[in-house]
Amino acid sequence: NKFSVNGGSISMYLGGRRGGVIADPAVVKSKKLVSCSFPCDGSTHERYYSGCGKLREPQCDSCNGPDQNYDWCNGNLHGVPMWSCGFRPNETADMLQAFRGVKNGTSPLLPGHSTWRNCNKDPGGNACCSPCACWAYSKDEHNEVIIVPQDWDSALPDALWAFVLPDPCLHDANCKRVADEYYAECQEEFKDKCPPRVGMNLNDLKNPFHVISTASSGIDIVL
């Protein structure tokens, strides 16, 4: 996604100091793994329906009727401070268009837009007052896609395409230790079905991925 590029480098959550995975798109689609998505950090740990609904309050997901607590964008970007509306599983292209607006600063979900005209534009230092760019400047925002953990677990190992170790994580001892532990668990459980680890140079916009040796974590092959 070209809109993930910021100032000549690829922007990632926490600056790339987190390991991750690449999911096999064919498996994700065939098993309908995606539940919803958001054009910025969705603060999904505080939402109904496993992260896809409105801000959670002290009641069950559907106490007053089925699907009452979803907040889909439905072609109209809106939200409340820290919580943007969401996109359905079949609306990923629309989410990416909305993400484009967040990254280039034109989204109605950002501080300074007519809805949030008096909102502070410096993230983190003051109370959040817009749906997006609460904890990072809009150019540094990431999008968010929700997959229910139980669905993901049942799709393993087929859903795994690769483990990703961004260079900032590779050179951060604690981050790399955690990433190594996850990869070791995969090898223990799935043996030769565990996919390779792929390094990622965030400053290489044309060929960011490289294969990492499982033995030494040195770079073997540039893709």
Mind listing the pLDDT tens digit for each residue in 38-92?
Answer: 999 988 888 888 889 888 887 776 776 767 788 999 999 999 888 999 999 999 9
- pLDDT surpassing 50 at residue 104: yes
Tokens 């534009």 locate to 121
Q: CB-side exposure of 155: number of CA atoms within 13 Å?
A: 21
Strand, coil or helix: 149: helix
pTM strictly above 0.75 = yes
CA distance 143 to 40: 4
Residue 74: the pLDDT is 95
Res. 164: pLDDT tops 50: yes
- Hey, what amino acid is at 151? D
pLDDT of residue 221: 36
Q: Of all residues in the chain, what percent are helix, strand and coil, respectively (each to 5)?
A: 30, 20, 50
178-223 pLDDT, tens digit each: 999 999 999 999 999 999 899 999 999 889 998 876 544 443 333 3
Mean pLDDT for all residues in the chain: 86
